[in-house]
Chain A
Amino acid sequence: DSGVTQTPKHLITATGQRVTLRCSPRSGDLSVYWYQQSLDQGLQFLIHYYNGEERAKGNILERFSAQQFPDLHSELNLSSLELGDSALYFCASSVWTGTNTGELFFGEGSRLTVL
């Protein structure tokens, strides 16, 4: 158990819908990262939050947004869903030092299926 909790574990929805994925980091970790893992694209970095502030952004679509709340949990919002958004979405947390991510501890992922 990594200590990172992601909900829901599985989600099936239709095109055009909106979903919210939730992540609770390990106790004490201020950094939260979101990754998307599709079959044909490996693990793609979406976004990194540190203590409520956005630190880095990857190739995150405009239809996607995220935030980190004062209690440090994070949510990834995916809207106007398309078939191609079907993927495994990982949240990870770490003790980010400002110069190194440190080991990222991953949640079990949220598997999104868009029909």
Chain B
Amino acid sequence: AQKITQTQPGMFVQEKEAVTLDCTYDTSDPSYGLFWYKQPSSGEMIFLIYQGSYDQQNATEGRYSLNFQKARKSANLVISASQLGDSAMYFCAMSGSSGDKLTFGTGTRLAVRP
């Protein structure tokens, strides 16, 4: 079974600053994938970034990077140069070796202050 833990229910960040959203996971699968999704107030789920468990380098996508620390079982999302449009709910999720589903964390609500 997989478990995702996001311990920050809500966070504030000043516009143009960087912010780190925490995510820890637990799994017995040797191979797994880690994902981050953004859910704005409009409700849609937007894929941000993916990290495979065997990937040597941390994933980056534009202003998003995933700080993957396998030994600590953490997959934190770093958003650089925050923008007002980054205000949203952010979910960490993982897929196990069978890939049958994504297991989501409870989310972190990020508010960007002007």
Contacts and interface: CB of A to CB of B under 8 A. Distances in A.
B98 A99 contact: yes
B105 A42 contact: yes
A98 B98 CA distance: 6
Given A42-B105, A45-B102, A100-B95, A106 B33 contact: no
Count chain B CB atoms within 10 A of each CB in A2, A101, A108 and give the residue with the most.
A101
A99 B30 CA distance: 11
Contacts of A111: 43
Interface of B: 31, 33, 35, 37, 43-47, 50, 52, 91, 93, 95, 97-107
Interface residues of A, number: 27
B47 A101 contact: no
A111 B43 CA distance: 10
A103 B51 CA distance: 11
A83 interface: no
B101 A99 contact: no
Contacts of B98: 56, 98-99
A102 B98 CA distance: 11
Given A97-B99, A100-B95, A101-B101, 13 more contacts: A33-B102, A42-B105, A43-B91, A43-B93, A43-B104, A45-B103, A48-B101, A92-B45, A98-B98, A98-B99, A101-B99, A104-B102, A108-B43
Contact of A101 (B45, B100, B106): B100
A22 B101 CA distance: 19
Contact of B44 (A45, A96, A108): A108
Contacts of A55: 100
A99 B52 CA distance: 12
Contacts of B106: 42
Contacts of B103: 45
Contacts of A25: none
